[in-house]
């Protein structure tokens, strides 16, 4: 039971982080990392580009990739939790 709870907590962290990323990128930053042109950093939100500083761009880029990794880990954790439930 403890292992199953651990898997569900890991999955929850991954999926909560995804929602936090969506909220931050859509409402606060103005998009997801898109491109770097001539030393200018741009975020993209449905075709609307927002110029940001290098540090904001790097934060958004790192959070983007961490979110994808956590979603994958969370998906595997859900699968493991379901498998443990079937075994019990």
> For residue 41, what pLDDT is reported?
97
Question: Tens-digit pLDDT profile for the chain (88 aa)?
Answer: 889 999 999 999 999 999 999 999 989 999 999 999 999 999 999 999 999 999 999 999 999 999 999 999 999 999 999 999 888 7
Q: Note the pTM of the prediction, 2 decimals.
A: 0.83
Kindly report the length of the chain: 88
Report which of 6, 10, 3 is spatially closest to residue 73, judged by C-alpha positions: 10
Q: For residues 48 and 60, give the distance between their C-alpha atoms in angstroms, rounded to a whole number.
A: 16
Q: Half-sphere exposure of residue 78, counting CA atoms within 13 Å on the CB side?
A: 11
Token representation of residue 61: 């880029």
Q: Which residues pair with 7 in a beta bridge?
A: none
> For residue 39, what pLDDT is reported?
94
> For residue 31, what pLDDT is reported?
92
Report which of 17, 23, 29, 18 is spatially closest to residue 58, judged by C-alpha positions: 29
């Amino acid at each position: 039971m403890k292992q199953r709870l651990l898997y569900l907590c890991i999955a929850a962290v991954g999926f909560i982080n995804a929602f936090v990323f969506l909220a931050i990128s859509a409402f606060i930053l103005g998009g997801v990392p898109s491109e770097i042109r001539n030393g200018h950093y741009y975020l993209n939100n449905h075709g609307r580009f927002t110029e940001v500083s290098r540090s904001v761009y790097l934060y958004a880029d790192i959070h983007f990739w961490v979110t994808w990794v956590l979603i994958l880990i969370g998906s595997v954790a859900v699968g493991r939790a379901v498998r443990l439930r079937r075994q019990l």
